[in-house]
Structure 1
Amino acid sequence: MPPLTAKPYLRSVQIDPHADIDPQRYPFTIPAVRDLGVLEPHPDVTFFVGENGAGKSTVLEAIAVALGLPAEGGTKNVYRPQQQEVSPLQHVLKVTKGWRWPRDSYFLRAESLFNVFTYLDELPGGGPSLHLRSHGEAFMDVMLRFRGDGFYLLDEPEAALSPNRQLAALTVIDGLVKQGAQFIIATHSPILLAYPRAKILSFDGTGIAEISYEDTEHYAVTRDFLNHYPRRLEQLLGEDD
């Protein structure tokens, strides 16, 4: 019998209807942000997908900061006075939590992981430096520290992971989900997107819509290329006679 949990820890996210929004100001110029609506995460895993600039990482970051996590990543205990600039979206988000918040939470983003590792190295008694490991190994090491009954936001984790490590990450995610964890993941990886107990939200120029795995561009483009790569290379590289 599966354990009784308080999931979903995060039940919904929306822009406060009473907030004064300037549609000409970033990030509200992004259609998926401006028309966020009521976003209801899956109790287990929610994926944000879309082209670069579609707003998925912007929304993920705003959720993390609105929940008290640092913009550059880490737990609530990570404090760096020189944090990267954050969009104003966090100030107008209305988040609805479940009846109990998890014991553990973490915002993991590939682009600023170096800064977080440097901060951890400067703490007394922090253990071996994560800088002594490869980016992918360090990334996996952080994930292996996650616990069940946790809430985790991951921003493009595949940037640090080989295909084999992405498969390993799926196993880690599944094990944590079965112990009560909830994930929201912004990704371009067709491997990660294949996780079955998930909701996939597509960010594009019309807003946000739930789609199936097979309907994602990531799946379709990857499958087409792998099945027809000689022909696709001829077309892409101008070697078609």
Structure 2
Amino acid sequence: MEMTAYLRSIALLREEVPSFKKYPFHLPAISSLDQLKFHPKVTYIVGENGMGKSTLLEAVAVALGFNAEGGTLNFTFSTAETHSELYHYLRMVRGVTRPRDGFFFRAESYYNLATEIDALDREMSFGPPIIESYGGRSLHMMSHGESFFAAFMNRFGGRGLYIMDEPEAALSPYRQMAMLSRIHDLVEKHSQFIISTHSPILMAYPDSLIYQLTAEGIRQVSLEETDHFIIMKEFVNNRERMLKELLAREED
């Protein structure tokens, strides 16, 4: 399994970490990290808010040479230097084959990426506009969800390493299912995905690994063992009871 992956694993250079008492090394998922292996097709990083999912994914992307705010390896813009120093302390174990394509998709800074694309296209005096790779229409001229999906459908071309931080943020459940289908199409074209998500729909790809980040560290789980799946299933199957508990008020 490992040898076919573009990114086989990462390891924390623990002996070089200055202090496990400060951010981000104090986070349980980071402080307990030794080595993390990736599936050659799809790996999910899941967990509750504040567990370090985006921090870990960002560090992996930056260590690979991607811009912290997202995009391809060619993007070098910076709106704000807010990424952690974790990437300095990761050893990347790559596969024998290098990807031909790559993209770091980050929902929280996608607006900044769209703005940079428009700015670069205004400055270009030759060659096709960058926006042609995203469907030919300014990402700012679409809804949030449409612009997300435009990148997934147009910019991602296959034989790529795609790192995605909460891609479901602006997608309806229907679009999330369409995204799952798109992931499969790209996997069939020899792509590898590393995805941080809260969506039980997106994390349902069958040939994958799921790592759940908790207050105790990182553990590999099945979809049915994730908190996201358990809570969603409980709510859908017992909606009235859960609403009664959630909306209960103390009697005077």
Same fold, TM exceeding 0.5?
Answer: yes
What is the distance in 2 between the residues matched to 1:210 and 1:126? Answer: 39
Q: CA deviation at 1:240?
A: 9.2
Residues 129, 230 of structure 1: alpha-carbon distance in 2 compared, 3 angstrom cutoff: same
Is this contact kept in 2: 1:7–1:180, CA < 8 A?
no
Structure 2-normalised TM-score?
0.90
Shift of 1:100: 2.0
Aligned-residue offset at 1:77 = 1.0
1:87-111 deviations in whole A, cap 9, x for unaligned? Answer: 0100111111011210001000110
Report the equivalent of 1:89: 86
The reply on whether 1:60 has 2:64 as its aligned counterpart is: no
Structure 1 residue 154 and structure 2 residue 164: aligned?
Answer: yes
Offset, 1:239: 6.0
Conserved? CA contact 1:7–1:182, under 8 Å: no
Q: CA deviation at 1:86?
A: 1.1
Q: Which residue of 2 aligns with 1:132?
A: 141
Between 155-164 and 14-23, the greater mean CA deviation after superposition: 14-23
Could you say which residue in structure 2 is the equivalent of 1:186? 196
Question: Which TM-score applies when normalising by structure 1?
Answer: 0.94
Tell me how far apart the structure 2 counterparts of residues 31 and 48 of structure 1 sit (CA, whole Å).
14
> What is the identity, as a one-letter code, of the residue corresponding to 2:169?
A
**Partner secondary structure for residue 122 of structure 1:** helix
Deviations 1:137-185 (A, max 9, x none): 1101101120211000000111111000000000000010011000000
Tell me the equivalent position of 2:33: 36
Give the AA of the match of 1:113: Y
Checking the alignment, whether the CA contact within 8 Å between 2:7 and 2:93 is kept in structure 1 is: yes
For the residue of structure 2 that corresponds to 1:108, the secondary structure is strand
C-alpha distance in 2 between matches for 1:153 and 1:112: 14
Work out whether residues 47 and 213 of structure 2, in 8 Å CA contact, stay in contact via their aligned partners in 1: yes
Distance in 1, Cα, partners of 2:171 & 2:18? 38
1:198 and 2:208 are equivalent in the alignment: yes
Matched, 1:171 2:168: no
2:229 to 219, 222, 233: 219
Q: Contact conserved, 1:42 with 1:199, CA < 8 A, in 2?
A: yes
Q: CA RMSD in A?
A: 1.4
**Identity %, equivalent residues:** 47
Give me the whole-angstrom Cα distance separating, in 1, the residues matched to 2:51 and 2:164.
17
- 2:95 alignment counterpart: 98
User: Matched residues in 2 for 1:100 and 1:193: separation?
Assistant: 26
Per the TM alignment, residue 46 of structure 1 is displaced from its structure 2 partner at its CA by: 0.3
The question of whether the paired residues in 2 share the 8 Å contact of 1:46 and 1:198 is answered with yes
Give aligned pairs, total: 236
Deviation at 1:37, TM superposition (A): 1.4
Question: Where does structure 1 differ by over 4 angstroms across 4 or more consecutive aligned residues?
Answer: none
Shift of 1:16: 1.5
Partner of residue 238, structure 1: 248
Structure with more helix by fraction: 2
The secondary structure found in structure 2 opposite 1:173 is: helix
Q: Distance in 1 between matches of 2:130 and 2:12?
A: 38
Kept in 1, the 8 Å contact 2:10–2:35? The answer is: yes
Q: Which whole-Å CA distance do the structure 2 matches of 1:219 and 1:20 have between them?
A: 35
CA contact (8 A) 2:79 2:112 kept: no
Amino acid at match of 2:151: V
- In the other structure, the counterpart of 2:68 is 71
Counterpart residue type for residue 9 of structure 2: S
Cα distance in 2, alignment partners of residues 20 and 47 from structure 1: 25
Distance 1:184 1:195 in 2: 12
